[in-house]
Amino acid sequence: MATALLESVESGPSELDRSAARRTLRAQIGRLEGHLSAGLCEAFPDRPLLPELPGGHAHLQSIGELEELRDAQFAAVAELRAWLADRELRCADASRRLGLMLADPAGHRRERITQRELGEGGCGVWSVVPRLGPLGRLTGWWLVKLSSGCPLAT
Amino acid sequence: MAAEQPAARRGTVDRPLAAEYPGLRLDWLVADCLGSASDPGVAKRLALLADRFSGRQALALRQSPVASAYRSFFRQIGIDPDSQQTPAEAVALERLQRGGNPLGGRVADALRLAVLETSVALYGFDAGAVAAPPMIRAARRGEQAGGRALAAGTIVLADRERALCELFTPPEGDCAAGRHSSSVLLAAIGVDGVGELPVAEALSIAAGALSGG
């Protein structure tokens, strides 16, 4: 019994075992790719910078290569999730600041919040500006305006 | 009345690869190519399809069932799909960069139309330059495709005599279908998660566009 165990350890895993390990790793890689795609779609229109994943020509990857890729994907997914969580916090903060601006424009003079900071698409900017220009500045009459959007292409 | 389309046939996947990737398959057919210029009907369809892609939609493509299956498979065979896009993402990216679907002659248009409609990996070879049937196998030591040396073990599309191109890389050189081709061997590569139907549809759309539009 002990001899058989020793032999099996010394000879290493059989091709059948290695094939099963590769299959498991490929399934993990497929799932992680799905998580990455979903996260990047959620991040749009932002494009978070993620660690580069290994890649090259089409070939039957060894267990080592598959493990390296799987680990790199894990790291990328973790980084992407952290980035998304951080963006959610930043958006919540921007939304809170916009609420304060709307409630008391005069108390937040010249403040600006972009649509992107709010996690929304487009190029709009919320800003506190004086009503009727110099007149509003002199009388302390401020209001919140949303700019009309993206500049036209030239 | 439209001419009857040739039936698709199943190509061989070399046994070690078939054992590792049970979902990997190759369907092919030979279609007549009626002329080299872009077909007006196909050009119109490509123009209509160009409206389908915005930046968000192009990105969301990677989550569609067929395109995501190719992305996963690319990773599983060592290709980085962010550097070498899947066929559907490549045509979507080109659409965004060029502001429309470019016309490139009857063969290129037919392939583009089929990929846009189905997201299936589809390639065209000059039927006169290929010794059918095509197959998927690993490259042998010292083998070349399109004038480029292949690392041994690279997964390739091959005919009975030689490697034609690396898997998921458009063919180059004499075997690539183009304006000179009177008949085109269409090869569609299926992977796990890509059903028979989109693959058959891709071949049918491309064959139809080649032989009449």
Which pLDDT tens digit goes with each residue over A137-149? Answer: 788 888 898 887 6
Q: Which residues of A touch B70 (CB under 8 A)?
A: none
Q: Looking at beta carbons, which residues of chain A come within 8 Å of B59?
A: 40-41, 44
- Relative to beta strand B163-166, strand B144-145 is unpaired
The stretches of chain B forming alpha helices (DSSP H) are 15-20, 40-50, 55-60, 65-76, 87-98, 106-118, 196-210
Q: For chain B, give the percent of residues with pLDDT over 70.
A: 97
- Nearest-neighbour CA in chain A from B41: distance (Å): 32
Query: Is B55 an 8 Å CB contact of chain A?
Result: yes
Q: What is the pLDDT of residue B169?
A: 95
Whole-number Cα distances in Å, A113 to A89, A92, A121, A149, B74: 15, 12, 13, 13, 41
- Chain A residues at the B interface, defined by Cβ less than 8 Å, are 19, 22-23, 26, 29-30, 33-34, 37-38, 40-41, 44-45, 52-61, 65-66, 69, 73
**Residue B193: closest CA among chain A residues belongs to which residue?**
A30
pLDDT digits (tens, 9 = 90+) for B8-50: 999 999 999 999 999 999 999 999 998 889 889 999 999 998 8
ipTM for the whole predicted complex goes beyond 0.90: no
Residue B191 has pLDDT above 90, yes or no: yes
Smallest Cβ–Cβ distance between B20 and the set A19, A52, A56 belongs to A19
Radius of gyration, CA atoms only, chain B: 16
Instruction: Tell me how close the Cα of A4 comes to any Cα of chain B, in angstroms.
Output: 29
CB-defined contacts A:B, below 8 A: 91
Is the Cβ pair A19, B76 closer than 8 Å?
no
Three-state DSSP at A140 gives coil
For chain B, what is the total number of helices (H) and then of strands (E)? 7, 10
Predicted pLDDT at B154: 97
pLDDT in tens, B124-141: 999 999 999 999 999 999
Most B-contacting residue of A15, A32, A37, A150 (CB-CB within 10 A), to test interface: A37
Q: Is the pLDDT of residue A1 over 50?
A: no
